Amino acid sequence: MIPVLAGPLTARTWQILPDGSGDCPTIQAGIDSAAVGDTVLVGCGSYYEHDIVLKAGIVVRSADEAASCATVDAQGLGRVFVSTGLADTTRLAGFTITGGQGLPGTGYGGGGIHCTQSPLHVSHCVVTGNTSEFGGGVGCYESSLVLEKCRIEANQATGISWAAGGGMFCRESDPVLQNCDFVSNTAFGLVLPGDGGGIFSENSDLEAIDCSFQGNASGAGGGGFYSYSFDNSILTGCTFSGNRSEGGGGMYFETSYAQLNDCVFDSDSASTGGALFIALWSSPGISDCLFTGNKAEPYSGGAIACWQSSPYILGSTFLENSAGLDGGAMICNSTCLATIRDCRFIGNTAGRSGGAIRSFDATQVDVATSTLTGNSASVLGGGISTELSGPLIIKQTIVAFSALGEGVACTASDNVTVSCSDIYGNAGGNWVGCLTDQLVSNENIEADPMFCDPGNDNYFVRTNSPCLPQYNACGLLMGAHGSGCGPGLSAGSSVEPSSWGKVKARYRR
3-state per-residue secondary structure call for 456-477: HCEEEEECCCCCCHHHCCCCCC
Contact 177, 152 (CB under 8 A): no
Q: Taking Cα atoms as reference points, which of 371, 384, 340 lies closest to residue 454?
A: 371
- Looking at residue 164, what DSSP letter applies? B
In the three-class reduction of DSSP (H, G, I as helix; E, B as strand; rest coil), residue 455 is classed as helix
Distance between CA 380 and CA 353 in Å, rounded? 5
Distance between CA 474 and CA 496 in Å, rounded? 30
Q: Taking Cα atoms as reference points, which of 119, 74, 126 lies closest to residue 95?
A: 126
For 447, list phi and psi in degrees, rounded to 5: -150, 150
Contact 484, 461 (CB under 8 A): yes
HSE-CB for 487 with a 13 A CA cutoff: 3
Region for residue 65 given its phi and psi (left: phi exceeds 0; alpha: psi -120 to 50; beta: otherwise): left
| CB contact set of 384 (below 8 Å; sequence gap of 6+) | 354, 356, 357, 358, 359, 367, 372, 392, 394, 399, 407, 408, 409
Query: DSSP states of 315-352 as a string?
Result: S-EEES-EESSB-SSEEEESS-EEEEES-EEES-EESS
Distance between CA 44 and CA 60 in Å, rounded? 13
Distance between CA 131 and CA 135 in Å, rounded? 8
pTM score, whole prediction: 0.95
Strand residue runs (E) in 369-455: 371-373, 376-377, 384-387, 392-395, 398-400, 408-409, 416-419, 422-424, 451-453
Chain-centroid distance, C-alpha 196: 11
Contact 393, 421 (CB under 8 A): no
For 354, list phi and psi in degrees, rounded to 5: 70, 75
Cα dihedral 364, 367, 373, 379 in deg (nearest 10): 10
Strand partners, 270: 245, 296
Residue type, 46: S
Distance between CA 340 and CA 363 in Å, rounded? 14
- Looking at residue 105, what DSSP letter applies? T
Interior angle at CA 303, CA 302 and CA 307, nearest 5: 90
**Cβ atoms within 10 Å, residue 413:** 8
Residue type, 382: G
HSE-CB for 74 with a 13 A CA cutoff: 31
Distance between CA 502 and CA 305 in Å, rounded? 26
Interior angle at CA 113, CA 111 and CA 118, nearest 5: 135
In the three-class reduction of DSSP (H, G, I as helix; E, B as strand; rest coil), residue 165 is classed as coil
Q: Taking Cα atoms as reference points, which of 352, 369, 358, 266 lies closest to residue 306?
A: 358
Query: DSSP states of 8-61 as a string?
Result: -SS--EEEE-TTS-SSSSSHHHHHHH--TT-EEEEPSEEE---SEE--TT-EEE
Q: Taking Cα atoms as reference points, which of 58, 41, 191, 164 lies closest to residue 109?
A: 164
Interstrand relation of 458-462 and 451-453 (parallel, antiparallel or unpaired): antiparallel
Q: What is the pLDDT tens value at each position of the chain, 509 positions in all? A: 334 334 455 899 999 999 999 999 999 999 999 999 999 999 999 999 999 999 999 999 999 999 999 999 999 999 999 999 999 999 999 999 999 999 776 667 899 999 999 999 999 999 999 999 999 999 999 999 999 999 999 999 999 889 999 999 999 999 999 999 999 999 999 888 999 999 999 999 999 999 999 999 999 999 999 999 999 999 999 999 999 999 999 999 999 999 999 999 999 999 999 999 999 999 999 999 999 999 999 999 999 999 999 999 999 999 999 999 999 999 999 899 999 999 999 999 999 999 999 999 988 999 999 999 999 999 999 999 999 889 999 999 999 999 999 999 998 889 999 999 999 999 999 999 999 999 999 999 999 999 999 999 999 999 999 999 999 999 999 999 999 999 987 655 444 444 445 555 555 44
